[in-house]
Chains A and B, each alone.
Chain A
Amino acid sequence: MKRQLPLAIIFLCGAFTLFQYFIPHEQSEYLYEFVALDWPPIIGVFALMLGIFSLIRVSWGKIRRKSENWPYAIVTLIGLAGMIATGLPGIGDHNAPAVRWQFNYIVYPVSATMFSILSFFIASAAYRAFRARSFLATVLLVSAVIVMIRFFPLGPLTDPVGTTADWVLNVPNLAAKRAIVIGVGLGIVATALKIVLGIERSYMGRD
């Protein structure tokens, strides 16, 4: 029963979603939009509580055991408590000055900094990856350089380079992407079918 019930629920939900897709009638849409789609937020809210509980437990465990770099766990817990406390109705809300302050002066700059690290990593990765080791690697290298220099003011070469870069982006690049997307689409359908039909159950920890 413990094994069959989840599989039955998965089959029923999967079959409902599949058949609903082919029924355009208003009642079917209503069922999908107002009944089936109401579940994720409800599950999400309860799962978020589990998530917060997990974060507290893991951080507290680090502090208690004085494991490596345990003071960071204190910062995590202070951040968590501070944001929740200042955002709680009655104490503050999502527009309270304290919440805005934490967003403006902590979350925003730290997030922007993390994202901007990407440009340094792109430079370093490009340096290591674009080597003319073979014919195909050379094609990749030349294409990358053309796409990168398309914004440069190159005098009489600006237009031909721009046209070539557009061609590279819109023809070979898109052709390869579409091929991957078709493969991904089939893979998604196959995986979804395997799950709905109970062929693939390892995500439940079982074969």
Chain B
Amino acid sequence: MSDPSKQPEAPNPDTDAYAHESELEAHLQPKRMYINMGPSHPAMHGTVRMKVELEGETIIKADPEIGFLHRGFQKSCENVTWTQCLPYTDRLNYNSAMMNNFGFLNAVEKLIGLEIPERAQYIRVIASELHRMHDHLTCVGATALELGGFAPFLYAIEGRELIMDRVTELTGARLTTSYGRVGGLNRDLPEGWIPKTIKSLDKIQELLVEVEGLLMKNRIFVDRMKGTGLLSAEDALDFGFTGPCLRAAGVDYDVRKAKPYWVYSQLDFDVPVGTHGDNYDRYIMRLEEMKQSDRIIRQALAKLPSGPIIVDDWRIALPPKPEVYGTIEGVMSHFKLVMEGIPVPPGEVYDSTEAANGELGWYLVSDGGGRPYKVHVRAPGFPILSAIPQIIEGKMLADLIPTFDMINMIGGEVEQ
């Protein structure tokens, strides 16, 4: 029996009774809708905010706003020594830190006019290609995940973890390695690293077969990738695309082939080129490039010569520790290198290497001191992201996700 003196309960907003019939049948507003994707949206890699103007599901206008992560890369570099820039370059593309490291060092070495030892060149190639695979695995896995496939993501990440383990053994860090030094490398390969790496590569190839098998015959995946995110070769050049995104459009340009650096000219590999310039082709490019990277690493490991890993010049490389502790010359050179930095002769240089996403260019100016006067980075993701409004306007909102995945925008480098 209910108590007649008790007041009726207030309506609970969490129950269905609260939603009226008329509200459930409300029509979509016919007017334009403005939505913000980001700055921390799961589909926006890094912190990009995309202001999207929608009519129904069609994107009328897209305006990317990219400054949320900006951390003053150039200004920071211009106020530390050349070697101290390395940790900053790591963070440009945190998926392939060593490629950024080595790209920067390559430009500095060009500016000095320095040839690094052959063993160091081989190890740089091996480490770069490992990180290229690392980057592509992340990209392919994340794309699969964002289009609804969790299993391929797990396989890709398993492969990535194997690379991370090898990278940790090599450099002591998983993500931000700071492994290079002007004139060579920080340290030599650890004992037993080569057979371990080959074993990891075998496993990664197996995992790639799984990933391919799961994705290439998946109707949802293929339908969302094929024919979306189209950009013609001419427009891609106009925007300054490089790397897999340019090659997907059918342009055969790879810095490793066009202007070989280190020992790339001595290694045998192919550059895959696509035809359509859509997301599917970009995805295929990344898969093929991983296979080529595998080839390169195996060859380089087989050919790896012995010898020093850094130049024997105390004006550039730190002297060996017994010399620092035992001789006055060693102490002085150590002190000068740490406190004042490497004296890079005055001048300027523009130099580029092929990073995972494309041409990573460096324009450096030195005034002769131990610190860079100007460090300009041509990050490959920056021009690619700038093309997004053109690619996506007039297309569906759902196309934004695979397109954004496949350009593989990395917040760190775009936002400098």
- A pairs with B: no
